[in-house]
Amino acid sequence: MKITLNTPKEVKLDQIDFILVFFISIVSFCVHLWCIQHPAHVIFDEVHFGNFTNWYTKSEFFFDIHPPLGKIIMFLFANFSEYDGQIEFGGEYGHTYPDETYVPLRITPAFFSSLCPTLLYFAVRFCGFSRCAGLATASIVLFDTSILCEHRFILSDGMLHFFSALHICIMAYGLSLPRDSQRFFVWQILTGLSLGAACSCKNTAWGLIALNGIIHVVEVFLTELALNESFFINVFIRGFTLAVPTGVVYIASFCVHFALLPFIGQGKGYLSQEMQNQLIDPSLDGLQLWGNRVTKPGLVTRSIILTLRMHQGNMGITQWHPYQSRPIGWPLLTDIYVGFWAKDGLEINCIGNVFSYYMAFFGVIFVLFGLRNKKWIQAMRFSVGWAVSYFPFFLIPRTMYLYHYHIPLMIGSCAFGASIDLFCPKFLRGLTAVIACFLAFVGFVLWSSFAYGQKPWDKHVIIWNDNWLYGDSVHRELAKGAGSPPPMNTKGIHIV
């Protein structure tokens, strides 16, 4: 016996949708690009990602713990600005940039990430939820200050979040199509391509793979109601149309990475001797080596080997850091923020918007209790997506930080939007969405100075939990054991 699932009808966006999207996009670009040049100092991991762009420009091989797509995109857009790869990102911490050539490098991640609220609005709408739900979702992400802080500097998270939001959007639209239609499988392939792009930026997107798998396995099982031959055939077909495009994009990003970096560089020590021999010494005649580096071993083999080395390197980052935190403290902001930069009483801190974080988290919880609503299955995609993107962090041994929570936060914002439709009658949805937007904006006003490096409000106004400054009890004990200097307070001095 088979049953027909209550899948949403294909949503046709109207003029009101496009007016809202236009407004969301304009505000998002303004929020992300305002004062993008400030501060004119090397901020946080700009020292690493700026050097990656330099090495791409010089075609020198380097090793990083993250997949290469986000870094490649930053390099390509740096070329459009005719950047010559000469900025010195290393040296003294937080030193001043010599000129304004760093600004286009910051604009690239800010530009891509500005589209995240718009894409998530579309995702919620394509799942069959109202414009009010979409607007609340977009506002939570748009006005979150920790996401904004991560998007405005020379870091690859802007591209990671863009492709993650794009994937959620494409996946939502594809799941609104009839399962036996040709268009469904075309959109399945597009879903796989966007998934591959997200996973090719950072490994934190891998939870999206589990989300896709759970959605399709559960859906096919509920349709077949048996583990029969038809069940396995349908699961295989859906998995194949997702996995192949995902794998192609992932491997292709490494192939481009290798092609762009033919010369010996600082990262060769992480490679096997055979792979080191394929790098070219620019001072020697490299014609013969060019043939070796393509054929022995192949690009796919090298991509797999480098992926394993990256994973080993990533999991090996276990040393104490004064701004590290535990996953248990992320959803409700009960642990330390991440200090990016401090000088002359101004600070850049990755600190969350309390209202955005709490609305996203409780949206995930609310959805669980909406079983009687006909849209509950669609809403549960977001709660499941949050879970599979968040809970695996408890199994990861490496040092972690608040910004690792951003993909679950974005998915949680979608869950909050969906919960508006699940629990609010139509006449209250608009009011609820307006209240959500207002609260998110209030949080933006309170904590955005930390994203922009502007003079903050008084500490008693903006520091709602001492754990943001000192860490939770576990963090403080670890700090004592490590003999680490305490974190800086909001005046840029160490707490004693």
Q: Which domain holds residue 360?
A: 15-473
Q: Is the pLDDT of residue 226 over 60?
A: yes
In a domain, 90, yes or no: yes
Tokens at 248, concatenated: 């192609």
In a domain, 6, yes or no: no
* Residue 296 pLDDT level (bands cut at 50, 70, 90): low
Q: Is the pLDDT of residue 494 over 50?
A: no
Tokens at 69, concatenated: 């797509």
In a domain, 485, yes or no: no
In a domain, 8, yes or no: no
State the pLDDT at residue 303: 84
CA gap 153, 32 in Å, rounded = 10
* Residues near 137 by beta carbon (within 8 Å), at least 6 away in sequence: 117, 120, 121, 123, 124, 413, 414, 416, 417
In a domain, 4, yes or no: no
Provide the number of structural domains found in the chain.
Answer: 1
Q: What is the pLDDT of residues 386-398, one digit of tens each?
A: 999 999 999 999 9
| Enclosing H/E stretch for 347 | strand 346-350
Q: Is the pLDDT of residue 286 over 60?
A: no
Question: What length is written for the chain?
Answer: 496
The whole-number average pLDDT for the span 203-230 is: 90
* Residues near 205 by beta carbon (within 8 Å), at least 6 away in sequence: 160, 163, 164, 167, 195, 198, 199, 407
In a domain, 490, yes or no: no
- CA-based torsion, 485, 315, 205, 373: positive or negative: negative
Q: What is the pLDDT of residues 236-255, one digit of tens each?
A: 999 999 999 999 999 999 99
In a domain, 328, yes or no: yes
| Average pLDDT of every residue of the chain | 90
Q: What is the pLDDT of residues 12-45, one digit of tens each?
A: 899 999 999 999 999 999 999 999 999 999 999 9
In a domain, 285, yes or no: yes
Torsion of CA 314, 358, 142, 8, to 10 degrees: 90
Helices vs. strands in the chain: H and E counts, helices first? 21, 2
* Residue 287 pLDDT level (bands cut at 50, 70, 90): low
Select the more confidently predicted residue: 194 or 180. 194
* Residue 492 pLDDT level (bands cut at 50, 70, 90): very low
Select the more confidently predicted residue: 311 or 290. 311
Nearest alpha-carbon partner for 113 in 399, 462, 451, 360:
451
The whole-number average pLDDT for the span 349-370 is: 97
* Residue 496 pLDDT level (bands cut at 50, 70, 90): very low
Angle (deg, nearest 10), helices 376-390 and 354-368: 120
